[in-house]
A and B are shown apart, each in its own frame.
Chain A
Amino acid sequence: DTGVSQNPRHKITKRGQNVTFRCDPISEHNRLYWYRQTLGQGPEFLTYFQNEAQLEKSRLLSDRFSAERPKGSFSTLEIQRTEQGDSAMYLCASKGGGGAANEQFFGPGTRLTVL
């Protein structure tokens, strides 16, 4: 257990529905990252927060995706009007301050299946 938790662990939804995932990072970590991982591939960066500010969004993050970190603690990732191509593992990671030397700690992920 890395100290990063994600809920739910699994989500099955029908195409067109909205889904929301939650990530609870390690409490003193100011950076929080979202990644998406499809089968057989490495995780792909989606977005990251420093405290409550969303500082970067990948081109992978279409208009249907939105992420928030309202109080600089937990974060949510919402996908609207889900498509089958959204099926993937969504990973959250957190990192303390101090530059690149500090590792990112990953949660167990939320596996999304869109039918």
Chain B
Amino acid sequence: GENVGLHLPTLSVQEGDNSIINCAYSNSASDYFIWYKQESGKGPQFIIDIRSNMDKRQGQRVTVLLNKTVKHLSLQIAATQPGDSAVYFCAENKAPGNKLVFGAGTILRVKS
């Protein structure tokens, strides 16, 4: 079957440090991935996306890396802030319909 999953369920980082959240996928045909952030009591919020024709994409304080050889992607958050504390999901955007297939999530805790 097709799975999108995460290596680490919980990540604790010191405020100001960089965070790296990892995700593995199994379907080599997957071609569009999105990272979502979910705070307590809220729905998931789009962070950044990447297509398979790219290896890296940068946003504001965030970078997504895609390694198609080992079917792995990561989300890097620079200078992590307390407001970054949340659950982070990688998701595959699948056709038809652009439905999202989510992994299980990583909890990011930022210590002040």
Q: A41-B105, A42-B103, A56-B99 are in contact. Are A103 and B34 (CB under 8 A)?
A: yes
Determine the distance from Cα of A35 to Cα of B96 in the docked complex, in whole angstroms: 16
Docked-complex contact B99 and A45, CB < 8 angstroms: yes
Chain B positions 80-112 with a Cβ under 8 Å from a chain A Cβ: 89, 91, 93, 95-105
Q: Which of A2, A35, A55 is within 8 Å of B100, CB to CB?
A: A35
A43-70 vs B: 1/0 string, CB under 8 Å? 1110010100001100000000000000
Smallest CB separation, B2 vs chain A (Å): 12
Docked-complex contact B41 and A108, CB < 8 angstroms: yes
Docked-complex contact B101 and A40, CB < 8 angstroms: no
Smallest CB separation, A83 vs chain B (Å): 23
Residues of chain B with a CB closer than 8 A to A42's CB: 89, 91, 102-105
- Number of contacting residues on A, CB 8 A? 27
Q: A35-B100, A45-B99, A56-B97 are in contact. Are A108 and B42 (CB under 8 A)?
A: yes
Determine the distance from Cα of A93 to Cα of B50 in the docked complex, in whole angstroms: 20
Q: Which of A35, A44, A100 is within 8 Å of B98, CB to CB?
A: A100
A99-114 vs B: 1/0 string, CB under 8 Å? 1100111111100000
Docked-complex contact A104 and B104, CB < 8 angstroms: no
Docked-complex contact B43 and A91, CB < 8 angstroms: yes
Q: Which of B46, B101, B102, B103 is within 8 Å of A103, CB to CB?
A: B46
